[in-house]
Amino acid sequence: MKRTILILGVFLLSSFSIYAQQNLDFSGAQGIISPQVHEDNTVTFRLDAPKAQEVLLQGDWMPAEGWTPGRAAMKKDEKGIWTYTTSALRSDMFMYNFIVDGVKIVDPNNVYQVRDIANLFSIFIVNGEQASYYKVHDVPHGSVTRVWYDSPGLKSNRRLTVYTPPGYESSKESYPVLYLLHGVGGDEEAWISLGRTAQIMDNLIAQGKAKPMLVVMTNGHTSNTAAPGESSKGLYKPIMMTPDVGSGNMESTFQDVINFVEKTYRVKKEKASRAIAGLSMGGSHTLFISANLPNTFDYVGLFSAAYRLNRPDAQEIPAVYANYEKNLEKQRDNGYKLYWIAMGKTDFLYQTAIDFRKMLDEKKVKYVYRESDGGHTWSNWRLYLSEFAPLLFK
């Protein structure tokens, strides 16, 4: 009887093994390395598509055509493998796709992907000092959690992403907080996936360049309670311009976020221990939130800020916008430690940044201006975070 059971067990195990192997591809394509990052920061891409007539590589390091990243033609060898090698790339993280006979796909040999709005991209990180901040190193790591909070102002439960620094769980210490806001195409997951916030903070803290802090990443689309697929809305296709954009709802109810964080986490609850920063739409949110709460934040960061998002169908201007200049003057008079503005030289919002700084100059609002190469890109926003965080809570 025991022998029969043993034989049956071996048979079942063998059957499962055969079934599992049927779902694996042991063809030559599995041996393809793509992308292959070389020591000199050139990168080789490969795709096994012998029946394809044309394969293009589209990457965010290439000169863009309007909002569309540039493209380069790949070459097919006698085995049907398409290949392309770049010139040496700057130290950074990059996103790319293949376009196979007009159809955009992710790299099937690269499991590392990110979502931006409703689009999927393959990613890779090259070598060098700046890119090193985006990599996982053998250093103490913080924790990243998704938590739900009650927003009385929005009459809903909403989701946040919270980074707590290394040692938070085992210590009794209270920490400062950076509230970090995304752009019009993002949600509470954007700064973690596209912005590499956890890796940047882990590495800066390990090097002693930034103070240990919490980073709270909100969902700035008040018509969504959470990222796509993470709420009762179901599995819908994400859109960029949600109905709440430019409504003032995010800015006027942000105190709900602060209240939750300061009730739930061990954080310092004074102005000197609070910072707020955001990119694009989140930059607009940041400047209005910080002015609407004029004695709340000692550190303000505007990354490629949109400055003012108007709704053409608005019947009246929300108070958080209408009272902005008076609120800004209160913010100036109350004082702060840092008002940091960053913008890319080729950003489509470049002129609005000039106009905004002119208004700040007229009102004698002190600020620090940082201008970089490039445009309205995650490359710049990751860079700005890596430079802004070390300036906080000094």
Residues 208-227 pLDDT 10s:
999 999 999 999 999 999 99
Place of tokens 């290394």: 166
Residue 106 · residue 122 · CB < 8 Å = yes
How far apart are the C-alpha atoms of 190 and 315, rounded to whole Å? Answer: 31
- Outline which parts of the chain fall under CATH 2.60.40.10: 28-132
- Outline which parts of the chain fall under CATH 3.40.50.1820: 143-391
Q: Provide the mean pLDDT of the chain.
A: 92
How far apart are the C-alpha atoms of 84 and 1, rounded to whole Å? Answer: 61
Tell the CATH superfamily of the 143-391 domain. Answer: Alpha/Beta hydrolase fold, catalytic domain (3.40.50.1820)
Closest CA to 227 of 212, 237, 213, 215: 237
Question: Which distant-in-sequence residues (6+ apart) come within 8 Å of 347 by Cβ?
Answer: 304, 353, 374, 375, 376, 380
Mean pLDDT, residues 63-87 taken together: 92
Report residue 93 as tokens.
């993280």
CATH assignment of 28-132, among 2.60.120.10, 2.30.110.10, 2.60.40.10, 1.10.150.650? 2.60.40.10
Residue-wise pLDDT tens digits, 29-56: 558 999 999 999 999 999 999 999 999 9
Mean pLDDT, residues 322-334 taken together: 96
Looking at the chain, the whole-number percentage of residues with pLDDT higher than 70 is 91
Rg (CA), the chain: 24
Q: How many residues does the chain have?
A: 394
SS3 165: coil
Residue 355 · residue 361 · CB < 8 Å = no
How far apart are the C-alpha atoms of 328 and 320, rounded to whole Å? Answer: 11
Place of tokens 């882990």: 202
Residue 314 pLDDT greater than 70, yes or no: no
161 — phi, psi (to 5°)? -110, 130
What totals of helices (H) and strands (E) does the chain contain, helices first?
11, 18
300 — phi, psi (to 5°)? -130, 130
Provide the whole-model pTM: 0.92
pLDDT given for residue 309 in this prediction: 66
Closest CA to 283 of 362, 342, 228: 342
Report residue 387 as tokens.
């430079």
